[in-house]
């Protein structure tokens, strides 16, 4: 990216002209000679050619991750950003790490004008989301990061989310957004139900293996761990530093709401009911997720067969990578990226295999996959704005 016009010099290529002016005010005269005109602005203000995007829930973790990813997107411009408690504030006071970008101030959804917006990322709590999406104009393409439109069976939604669904017609219309599995359906969708983070990390390895009848659909055990950002930014007692640090906390044991979502996806792959044992854990890191999955193989199947099937299924995929034989997927290797890394290992118990899958819960598990999906809907290359290397260490 060049921020320097031929006749001038800009001392920091990542800053917009407005930000440079503010710096200049603070630094007074001594830097005046270098505070000369930048030829472009950083960030991605809506130009006439850009698709105009709204981010609902921009003051939350997944919303801010959408903003971070869109900063390098050549086609999507941010037209509006909403918040609830933080409505009225500039992004710099809510997320200082985004303050170098030219972004609109946060507004309440009721004050948002969607008439010249093309698409929205909906990064709001489940339950609230269905009412809000019901009130949005029809011309909008919507990628919903919440769980509200993921379960096809309304009675299952009521059972696991504790309330009847309030937008059943929209739920029928929604397409489940597991990109690598449902790409063709997503391309034509108006409303995409972006998958949950745990279900993404579990379904990506298991769907191809179940479709190929290589693993039994009984006795699947999933031991999963998530960074704390998975729980969102709203303050909660169990998320205090003292509660989380230096320890591992299981939660939702026997009854986590991602169970029906995982089983729905695996049942679609199997063509019959699938049940899983799933236990999530909160682990003291800010982002990242690992699912360690224990499966029984079909008679006569070897671990090598699972490995070769996964290799074949994902050989043309950019974001799902089956590591070389024996290599351990690490959350470090996906931090800040849209990758899912997978590998499969023989268990000591004959006939069983262990699969490890890692993602960044905020990227492939949420905002990255959401961007991948909106790219598809809008007819852009799927990887646009998503080609980041991991942050390491
Ligand atoms: N975090 C993760 O790793 C993942 C999250 N998800 C899902 O994505 C969605 C967003 O998650 P996340 O970003 O973590 O959550 P956060 O709690 O960090 O953010 C929630 C956002 O929604 C806004 N909001 C809250 N209540 C209302 C309301 N009643 N009306 C309008 N806006 C409201 C908040 O505004 P304000 O802060 O101003 O109050 C904030 O901008 C959730 O449904 C979550 O389950 C999905 C996959 C992974
Ligand atoms: C660590 C943590 O609390 N994680 C969240 C899952 C985040 C997610 O994917 O939630 P949605 O299904 O709402 O999108 C949880 O267990 O509820």
- pLDDT band at 30; cut points 50, 70, 90: very low
- Does ligand 2 come within 6 angstroms of the Cβ of 226? yes
CA distance 240 to 375: 36
pLDDT computed for residue 3 by the predictor: 29
User: In which band, very low, low, confident or very high, does the pLDDT at 27 lie, cut at 50, 70 and 90?
Assistant: very low
> Is residue 322 within 8 Å of residue 343, measured between CB atoms?
yes
Q: Is 69 a residue whose pLDDT tops 70?
A: yes
Q: Does the C-beta of 361 come closer than 6 Å to ligand 1?
A: yes
pLDDT at residue 45 in the model: 62
Task: Please say if the pLDDT value at position 302 is more than 60.
Answer: yes
Asked whether 9 and 36 are in contact (CB, 8 A), the reply is yes
Rounded Cα–Cα distance for residues 79 and 91 (Å)? 14
Q: Which ligand 2 atom sits closest to the C-alpha of 194?
A: 14
- Confidence (pLDDT) at 61: 98
Query: So what's the pLDDT on residue 200?
Result: 98
Residue 94 has pLDDT above 50, yes or no: yes
Task: Give 124 Cα–ligand 1 centroid separation in angstroms.
Answer: 4
**222 Cβ closer than 6 Å to some ligand 2 atom:** no
Output the residue whose Cα is nearest ligand 1's atom 20: 60
pLDDT at 21: 31
Identified catalytic residue from 10, 38, 197, 340:
197
pLDDT at 202 over 90: yes
ipTM: 0.98
> Would you say the CB of residue 57 lies under 6 angstroms from ligand 2?
no
To the query of whether residue 197 is one of the catalytic residues in this protein, the response is yes
pLDDT digits (tens, 9 = 90+) for 183-199: 999 999 999 999 999 99
pLDDT, the chain, mean: 90
Nearest ligand to the CA atom of 95: 1
Atom of ligand 2 nearest to the CA of 252: 16
pLDDT digits (tens, 9 = 90+) for 353-383: 999 999 999 999 999 999 999 999 999 999 9
Confidence class of residue 29 from pLDDT cuts 50, 70 and 90? Answer: very low
On the question of pLDDT at 341 being above 80, the answer is: yes
pLDDT on residue 46: 66
What ligand has the least distance to the C-alpha of 282? 2
Which among 58, 60, 80 is the best mutation to test ligand 1's pocket, defined by most ligand atoms within 8 Å of the CB? 60
Residue 57 CB contacts under 8 Å (≥ 6 apart), including other chains: 63, 82, 83, 84, 122, 123, 124
Residue 147 CB–ligand 2 contact under 6 Å: yes
* Dist CA 197 CA 288 (whole Å): 10
- Ligand 2 mutation target, pool 161, 231, 285, most atoms within 8 A of CB: 231
Domains, the chain, ranges and CATH?
51-194+366-378 (3.40.50.720), 198-361 (3.30.360.10)
Whether 146 is in the pocket of ligand 2, judged by its Cβ within 6 Å, is yes
Distance CA 34, CA 238 (A): 49
Give the total residue count for the chain.
393
The ligand 2 atom nearest the CA atom of 145: 14
- pLDDT-based confidence at 50, cuts 50/70/90? confident
Residue range 109-137: mean pLDDT, rounded:
97
Measure the CA–CA gap between 339 and 341, rounded to whole angstroms: 6
* Sheet of strand 340-346, all strands in order from the earlier edge strand to the far edge: 249-250, 276-282, 220-226, 289-296, 352-359, 340-346, 320-322
Mean pLDDT of 10-20: 30
Give yes or no for residue 62 CB within 6 A of ligand 1. yes
Diameter of the chain measured on Cα atoms: 78
């Amino acid at each position: 990216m060049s921020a320097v016009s031929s006749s001038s010099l800009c001392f920091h290529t990542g800053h917009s002209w407005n930000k440079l002016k503010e710096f200049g005010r603070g630094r007074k005269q001594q830097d005046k000679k270098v505070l000369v005109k930048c030829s472009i602005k950083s960030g991605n203000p809506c130009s006439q050619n850009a698709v105009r995007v709204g981010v609902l829930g921009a003051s939350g973790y997944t919303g801010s991750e959408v903003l971070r990813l869109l900063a390098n997107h050549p086609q999507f411009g941010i037209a509006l950003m909403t918040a609830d408690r933080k409505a009225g504030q500039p992004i710099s006071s809510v997320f200082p790490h985004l303050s170098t970008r030219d972004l609109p101030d946060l507004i309440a959804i009721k004050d948002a004008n969607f008439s010249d917006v093309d698409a929205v990322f909906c990064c709001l709590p489940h339950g609230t989301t269905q009412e809000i999406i019901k009130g949005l104009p029809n011309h909008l393409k919507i990628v919903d990061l919440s769980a509200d439109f993921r379960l096809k069976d309304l009675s299952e939604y009521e059972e696991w989310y504790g309330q009847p669904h309030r937008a059943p017609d929209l739920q029928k219309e929604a397409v489940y957004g597991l990109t690598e599995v449902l790409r063709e359906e997503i391309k034509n969708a108006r409303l995409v139900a972006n998958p949950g983070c745990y279900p993404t990390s579990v379904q990506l390895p298991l769907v191809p293996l179940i479709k190929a009848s290589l693993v039994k659909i009984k006795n699947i055990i999933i031991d999963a761990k998530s960074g704390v950002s998975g729980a969102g930014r709203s303050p909660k007692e169990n998320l205090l530093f003292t509660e989380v640090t230096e320890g591992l906390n299981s939660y939702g044991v026997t009854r986590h709401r991602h169970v029906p979502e995982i089983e729905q996806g695996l049942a679609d792959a199997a063509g019959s009911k699938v049940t899983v044992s799933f236990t999530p854990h909160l682990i003291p890191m800010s982002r990242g997720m690992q699912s360690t999955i224990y499966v029984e193989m079909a008679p006569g199947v070897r671990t090598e067969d699972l490995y070769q099937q996964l290799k074949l299924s994902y050989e043309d995929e950019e974001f799902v990578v089956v590591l070389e034989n024996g290599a351990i997927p690490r959350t470090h290797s996906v931090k800040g990226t849209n990758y899912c890394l997978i590998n499969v290992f023989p268990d000591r118990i004959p006939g069983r295999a262990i699969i490890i899958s890692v993602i960044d819960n905020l990227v492939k598990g949420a905002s990255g996959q959401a961007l991948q999906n909106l790219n598809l809907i809008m007819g852009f290359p799927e990887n646009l704005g998503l080609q980041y290397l991991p942050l390491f260490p």
